[in-house]
Amino acid sequence: MRLFVQQGLGASTGAISRESGLSTGSLFNYFPTKTDLLNALYLHLKEDLAAAVWSAPFPDGVLRDRALEGWNRWTRWGADAPLKQRALTALETSPEITSATRSQGQDALQGLDKLFGEAHAMGPLAQQPLEFVIGLVAALAVTTMQFMATEPADRERRCRAGFDAAWSVIAGNATDADVPRRPAAKPTESKESGYER
C-alpha cells in the first residue's frame, strides 16, 4: 500500500514483491495478475473503512445528527490512517477496479447513502443524481481528512467545518425540523454508490 501511494498504481510487480517480502512467483500464487492484487486491496480498504463506520450502532435522532456521526467516523478513519485514505482515493478512480469489486465495496458500506439520500431529497441539488452529490461530498471528505491528519491541533474543528460544508451541499438550508426523527440506517438498508466511503 505504501508503495502505491509513493509510486502510484503503476508500480512494477517486482517493486511490489520486494515491498511485500515475497518473490514475484510467490506473489503471483496469491494474485495471478496485478489487477487481481489491486482489486483485493480496494476491497480490503473498503471493508476496513466499513468496520470503522459500523463499529457501533448509530444513535437515534434527527437526520443531521446521524449524518454527522457517519461523517465523523468516515473522516477520522482517513485522518488516522492517511496511507489507507490516499490508497483508496487512487483506487477509486482506477480503471483496474472491476464493476464486481466496486459492487462488493458498496455492499460493505451500505447505510451511508441512506443518510445522505434522505437529506439530498430535500436539498438544493435534489434534481441531481445522488451519485453526483455523493461525489461532491466525498471530495469534501478527502480534503477534510487531509487537513485533520496534517493539523492535529485543529483536528476536530476541521472535521466539523468539513461536515458543515458537506451538509450545505446536501441539504442546503434545511433544519432539523425539516427532517423526520427515525432510527439510524442499518448496514443492510441501502447501498452506497461510488467513491471513497
Burial category of 32 from C-beta neighbours within 10 Å (exposed 0-12, middle 13-18, buried 19 and up): exposed
Neighbours of 139 (CB within 10 A): 15
Looking at residues 170-188, what average pLDDT do you find?
57
pLDDT tens, residue by residue, 1-14? 666 666 667 766 77
Q: Which of 72, 101, 40 is nearest to 166 (CA)?
A: 72
Lowest mean pLDDT among 40-44, 137-141, 182-186: 182-186
User: If you average pLDDT over every residue of the chain, what do you get?
Assistant: 82
- In this predicted structure, the answer to whether residue 40 has a pLDDT above a threshold of 80 is yes
* Residue 160 backbone class (left: φ over 0; alpha: ψ -120 to 50; beta: rest): alpha
Higher pLDDT, 45 or 114: 45
Residue 6 is predicted with a pLDDT of 65
Looking at residues 89-107, what average pLDDT do you find?
91
Residue 27 is predicted with a pLDDT of 67
Neighbours of 69 (CB within 10 A): 19
- 65 vs 100: CA distance, rounded Å: 33
Neighbouring-strand partners of residue 61: 182
Residue 156 is predicted with a pLDDT of 97
Q: DSSP assignment, residue 188? A: T
Neighbours of 103 (CB within 10 A): 11
Looking at residues 63-77, what average pLDDT do you find?
93
- In this predicted structure, the answer to whether residue 77 has a pLDDT above a threshold of 70 is yes
**CA diameter of the chain:** 60
- 172 vs 164: CA distance, rounded Å: 10
Q: Which domains does the chain have, with CATH numbers?
A: 1-30 (no CATH), 41-178 (1.10.357.10)
**Residue partners of 172: CB distance under 8 A and separation at least 6:** 122, 123, 124
- 174 vs 88: CA distance, rounded Å: 32
Q: What is the pTM of this model?
A: 0.78
